[in-house]
Structure 1
Amino acid sequence: MSSEKILVGEYLFQRLLQLGIKSILGVPGDFNLALLDLIDKVGDETFRWVGNANELNGAYAADGYARVKGISAIITTFGVGELSALNGIAGCMSERIPVVHIVGVPSTKNQAVKPLLHHTLGDGDFKVFERMSAEISAEVQFLDSAETAPQKIDHILETCWREKKPVYLAIPSDSGYFSCDASGLKTPLNLSYPENCPVAEAEALKEIVSRINSAKKTAILVDACVSRFDAKEETQALVDATHFPTYVTPMGKTAINESSPYFDGVYVGSLTETDVKERLESADLLLNVGALRSDFNTGTFTYGTPVTNTIELHSTWTQIGTAKYENVGMKALLPKIIAALDLKAVQAKAAPVNFKVPTPTAAEGYPAGTITQKWFWPTLSTFLKDSDVVVTETGTSNFGSLDCRMPKNATHLSQVLWGAIGWSVGALFGACLAVKDSDKPDRRTVLIVGDGSLALTVQEISTCIRQGLKPIIFVINNNGYTIERLIHGLHAVYNDINTEWNYQNLLKDYGAKDSRSYNIHTEKELVELFQNKEFAAADVIQLVEVHMPLLDAPRVLVEQAKLTAAINKRV
């Protein structure tokens, strides 16, 4: 045992700082207050507490922060606080986002005698909420011993990083002040991914190279887990080396460079643009990298690519046709595939790319100059610039963004699989914080959210203002839940919202002393705004209210809604 000592809470915060986390999100509560006092003892002025309007927003913010920075942390209090965060944490589990959920719980003494404390269910069971979180966490740990605390902290943080899933860490109100061994802090956390099995990897590599050499036409499809498991650089290298036409799924947007001469469009199964669909599905070999085959990511499972012609590369396994190779992960395998190929021969038979950048289409069936989804998203492409962080909301924004070509080094955040309405506003705040905490703090952060979704989590805009953050917020004002209308209840009252909000006063009402708001009704007004250098500079927080027709929606959303409605159809 080392003679160097440190408080358990300090040990945890030092480890979080070593992971690059500088902003601790969450909401204070009596069982975590003493722990929060230790944040200031870390001794690094960049490491700080950043509170949220509520725990759900905090979890969404932790999600957004982790997508930009790599990992995040949120602190809530026992029972009432942690349960409020669970929807956001479940979304992180679903979408493979590494978030450390730290919960301040009653002291070890109270845990032993089980008094009838507030925030309990009144039955003396102090572990019930921990068991709930266990179902949506990669791992749970309870810190009740100074001797084991450092090892438990290190282990759970390594698990969070490697598995890209949330973890749950319960800290009794007294144990954060237990004195523990500090020597572990001198040894960096082991953040390396498991090594590939040499024998299985060699077999898989040989078969992959053989299939690529034999194929007449090969295509690459890039999906979400390329971003999640830090394989963007390796995947882009494969694209650049082979010149194979490359496609992304909705969840895979910005996992590769969409300005690449080899980028050939977005693939969503049967919902794909006809010419793009034909080009991908005519390939006799598909390299599917980082697949996450959810319904909205695949056009409700309508891929026209036979398994026998597909090679799937995942974080910890590879599948070639119907043969599965365990312990062969893509991050280590991709460079070896490139090294083993005859690149000149491969490039010589790479099919040409015929991608056409989506062009704005004038309103059809509406008065001239009306802003429609079909016009808005390609037009937004002209405003975005390299390295922007773009956050889109569940609904029209997620589907509309498929027609928005993202610039080089942009980061697109969306929650296609979990699909919680309102997620994007909290995620925007977390993304803005992550940019501020990064080595590129001047990156712009842009949110596109519908009026219905905004209402669920709008309070987090006030937190952006409090922290001096400067996002650009586009609010699509189309009077309600468009995605729900298309699925069921076109004019049903439950898909309506309060239409009396004054979005032009929103930033000022939340206390912004320096802000700009714009009320945009026509194509001409929006084009002029995009050409406004002051607006593009994003030097203050800005809100753009964009008016669109009630039932106008992106083409892919219209078709996806039909498929979803069919699945949900009443018997």
Structure 2
Amino acid sequence: MTTQATAALQAEVNRLRLEVQRLQTEQGSQKITIGNYLLTRLTQLGVTSMFGVPGDFNLGFLDLVEDHPTINWVGNCNELNAAYAADGYARVKEHSIGVVLTTFGVGELSATNGIAGGKPFSEMVPVLHLVGVPSTAQQKTKPMLHHTLGDGRYDAYVKAAEQFTFSQAFLTDKKNAASEIDRVLVDCMTVARPVYLSLPTDLVHEEISAQGLKISLSRHPSPNDVEVESFVLDLISKQFKEAAGDAVVLVDACTIRHDVRQELNDFLRNTGFPVYATPMGKTAVDENYERYGGIYLGSISRPEIKDKVESAKLLLSIGSLRSDFNTGNFSYNISTARTIELHSNYTQVQYAAFPAIGMKQLLPKLTERLACYCDRASKIHIPQYTSPIPKEDNDLISHTWLWPRVGAFFKPKDVIITETGTSNFGISDVPLPEKSILVSQVLWGSIGWSIGSTLGAALAARDRGLGRTILFVGDGSIQLTVQELSVMMRQDVKPIIFLINNSGYTIERYIHGKQRKYNDISNWNWTGLFNTLGDSDGKLSRTYTVRDKTNLSELLDDVTFASGDKIQLVEIIMDKLDAPRALQVQAQLSGKTNAYDSKVIRGPEGEMDDIRNTVESNVD
């Protein structure tokens, strides 16, 4: 039996033991308050930071948080930023979860956008949204309290949460509190999606049995059905035999979200198949691995990558999330007949789907079956994945030059965050060092997300002993959530922030309205931000403005700057209509799909022909 299968069985045993013990020890001698039961569970899951904003319905619980020996109350400027921070924390703190605490109504609704970025079918991030709510007595009598809608609908907000979280628990008494807390936490971990838990003010200090805390919560999905899994393995093996080992692997975001990095890397090194990644799957595989070929983005891909991926007889897709920005506007040229997909909760072989056959347990067995192809697969040529710094005939900072140049600045174990827009697209073709982590929000794409996420990511990186935290963000995006720079200084995290000042929303300009005023913003005194936000004497931070290649290169080569000993902001002046090639093509495709241009031919066939012609002209 494989290690993964053993772990899955042990998790199921633990779950059953926990249920039995609850029935036997509800009146156990060891007691703990509900609030501390929850905090103990979070500690067991490796949580060391909690994000959020105080409000009168969560203050009693916050007393426990502030007095807790290992969980740090971060305290954010608003609930949206707090949700973003919990998101970033969860992405970097592998095997743990992010936690955001808000108050009833006004607080939880403010956090909803940040929670939605991790919802089912979106970014798949394990975040607990914990909400302090009115007492159980008030829930029953429904007085016209502040933060309510004034119509007695106390359940309106949890109904909203049902749209953006995988599961919800609304605590009503102490009898079911432990089991409900455990249920949503297990869901959060095993499906890697946000969950919602409400905690009434009067239940925080109610005592319950502490016996259940002796049994660990399940982190693993249920075991695969042995007979079905065996059939699937035979079927996949047959496909590889018919393809004579001519196959490539394409890794995506769910490889990271569902904790299969180790299984994936064992598979790759034992089989030798070429491997590529999508933008959302970047850094799932170390990019200095000799069999790694770069980023596949459908028709927007580099020609040599597009050719290798699309000409293979078989594609093994692992953990895919096929959104528009992750697939070059759905321009994959790979037929279903040549595709095998492994997911967290199902497997698809060509046109046949097999529910409940998950990749974490399947991959090790597939490794054993396909290791025989290693010699043959290792001979498949992969063009070298590099991004040389181009020589341009001027000193202006361009995206073509910027991204390869900062690529040389990165170090192993760096945590790199890119904002929606030019940064997400610019970073895609830059090879990143081993054990580095790229954090981006390609699918949900909420501008301003990266500032809060950087706070959470930096705290998680510190916990894990990783390297520098480095953020790339545009001047338009940072204006939405800039307040969290003050929290970064208060929490003593020291990210390096590259702020691309290109006079507004460049990605929107390329989608539509290049010269429209609605894509303009007010220009701020960016190098004065830290003074305004708390560093009045300049001891905690440094700021820079660079306007040309020479000055930026000198700064990147500066040992003190590169050490990241303080929080630092670098304002990079760029032309407002300069953008990475991939963004320009993607934006044109999005604009045509949105049918902003009246000249676009209506109807599915005509419009898609127009899009294909645009892609081909830009790629060629």
Question: TM-score with structure 2 length normalisation?
Answer: 0.89
Tell me, yes or no, if structure 1 residue 319 matches structure 2 residue 348. Answer: yes
* CA separation of 1:460 and 1:349: change in aligned 2, threshold 3 A: closer
The residue correspondences of 1:443-462 to structure 2 (distance < 5 A) are 443-462=467-486
* CA separation of 1:515 and 1:318: change in aligned 2, threshold 3 A: same
Mapped partners of 2:289, 2:339: distance in 1: 23
- Aligned counterpart, 2:145: 117
- Aligned counterpart, 2:134: 106
- Counterpart amino acid of residue 507 in structure 1: F
The residue correspondences of 1:55-454 to structure 2 (distance < 5 A) are 55-69=79-93, 70-93=96-119, 94-216=122-244, 217-343=246-372, 346-347=375-376, 350-363=379-392, 368-438=394-464, 440=465, 442-454=466-478
- Counterpart amino acid of residue 580 in structure 2: P
* CA separation of 1:373 and 1:348: change in aligned 2, threshold 3 A: closer
- Aligned counterpart, 2:590: 564
Mapped partners of 1:362, 1:103: distance in 2: 54
Following superposition, the deviation at residue 341 of structure 1 comes to 2.5
- Structure 1 contact 377–401 (Cα < 8 Å) conserved: yes
- Counterpart amino acid of residue 52 in structure 1: N
Report the secondary structure of 2:193's partner residue: coil
Identify which of 498, 502, 507 aligns with 1:483.
507
For the aligned residue pairs, the C-alpha RMSD in angstroms reads 1.3
* CA separation of 1:349 and 1:357: change in aligned 2, threshold 3 A: closer
- Counterpart amino acid of residue 532 in structure 2: D
Deviates more, 1:348-357 or 1:280-289: 348-357
Identify which of 21, 29, 54 aligns with 1:28.
54
Mapped partners of 2:394, 2:504: distance in 1: 23
- Counterpart amino acid of residue 447 in structure 1: L
Mapped partners of 1:405, 1:300: distance in 2: 23
Structure 1, residues 2-31: CA drift from partner, whole Å, max 9, x if none?
A: 111111111001101110001111000001
- Structure 1 contact 200–327 (Cα < 8 Å) conserved: no
- Aligned counterpart, 1:471: 495
- Counterpart amino acid of residue 493 in structure 2: L
Following superposition, the deviation at residue 252 of structure 1 comes to 0.5
Following superposition, the deviation at residue 429 of structure 1 comes to 0.4
- Aligned counterpart, 2:528: 505
Structure 1, residues 95-119: CA drift from partner, whole Å, max 9, x if none?
A: 1001000000111111111111101
- Structure 1 contact 245–350 (Cα < 8 Å) conserved: no
* CA separation of 1:75 and 1:213: change in aligned 2, threshold 3 A: same
Following superposition, the deviation at residue 207 of structure 1 comes to 1.7
Report the secondary structure of 2:472's partner residue: strand
- Structure 1 contact 236–257 (Cα < 8 Å) conserved: no
Report the secondary structure of 1:35's partner residue: helix
- Counterpart amino acid of residue 218 in structure 1: A
Following superposition, the deviation at residue 239 of structure 1 comes to 1.7
Give the count of matched residue pairs. 563
- Structure 2 contact 421–507 (Cα < 8 Å) conserved: yes
Mapped partners of 1:87, 1:348: distance in 2: 44
**Which ranges in structure 1 are unaligned for 5 or more consecutive residues?**
none
Structure 1, residues 404-432: CA drift from partner, whole Å, max 9, x if none?
A: 21111111000000000000001000101
Mapped partners of 2:411, 2:376: distance in 1: 30
Following superposition, the deviation at residue 344 of structure 1 comes to 5.7
* CA separation of 1:349 and 1:428: change in aligned 2, threshold 3 A: closer
Mapped partners of 2:378, 2:493: distance in 1: 49
Report the secondary structure of 1:557's partner residue: helix
Following superposition, the deviation at residue 243 of structure 1 comes to 1.9
Report the secondary structure of 2:408's partner residue: helix
Mapped partners of 1:350, 1:138: distance in 2: 44
Mapped partners of 2:109, 2:374: distance in 1: 57
Report the secondary structure of 1:383's partner residue: coil
- Aligned counterpart, 2:19: none
- Aligned counterpart, 1:521: 547
Report the secondary structure of 2:570's partner residue: strand
Following superposition, the deviation at residue 511 of structure 1 comes to 1.8
Following superposition, the deviation at residue 214 of structure 1 comes to 2.8
* CA separation of 1:193 and 1:493: change in aligned 2, threshold 3 A: same
- Structure 2 contact 385–431 (Cα < 8 Å) conserved: no
Following superposition, the deviation at residue 225 of structure 1 comes to 0.3
* CA separation of 1:345 and 1:13: change in aligned 2, threshold 3 A: closer
Report the secondary structure of 1:95's partner residue: coil
- Counterpart amino acid of residue 231 in structure 1: V
Following superposition, the deviation at residue 352 of structure 1 comes to 1.2
Report the secondary structure of 1:177's partner residue: coil
Following superposition, the deviation at residue 522 of structure 1 comes to 1.1
Mapped partners of 1:336, 1:318: distance in 2: 14
Mapped partners of 1:22, 1:349: distance in 2: 43
Report the secondary structure of 2:117's partner residue: helix
Following superposition, the deviation at residue 507 of structure 1 comes to 1.8
- Aligned counterpart, 2:44: 18
- Counterpart amino acid of residue 245 in structure 1: P
Mapped partners of 1:140, 1:30: distance in 2: 22
Following superposition, the deviation at residue 523 of structure 1 comes to 1.1
- Aligned counterpart, 1:5: 31
Question: TM-score with structure 1 length normalisation?
Answer: 0.97
Mapped partners of 1:97, 1:269: distance in 2: 25
Following superposition, the deviation at residue 356 of structure 1 comes to 3.5
Following superposition, the deviation at residue 482 of structure 1 comes to 0.3
Report the secondary structure of 2:285's partner residue: coil
Deviates more, 1:503-512 or 1:91-100: 503-512
Runs of 4 or more consecutive aligned structure 1 residues displaced over 6 Å after TM superposition = none
- Structure 1 contact 242–347 (Cα < 8 Å) conserved: no
Following superposition, the deviation at residue 514 of structure 1 comes to 2.1
Mapped partners of 2:72, 2:584: distance in 1: 44
Percent identity reads 47
Mapped partners of 1:482, 1:345: distance in 2: 45
Following superposition, the deviation at residue 191 of structure 1 comes to 1.4
Mapped partners of 1:244, 1:555: distance in 2: 29
Mapped partners of 2:165, 2:51: distance in 1: 18
Following superposition, the deviation at residue 342 of structure 1 comes to 4.2
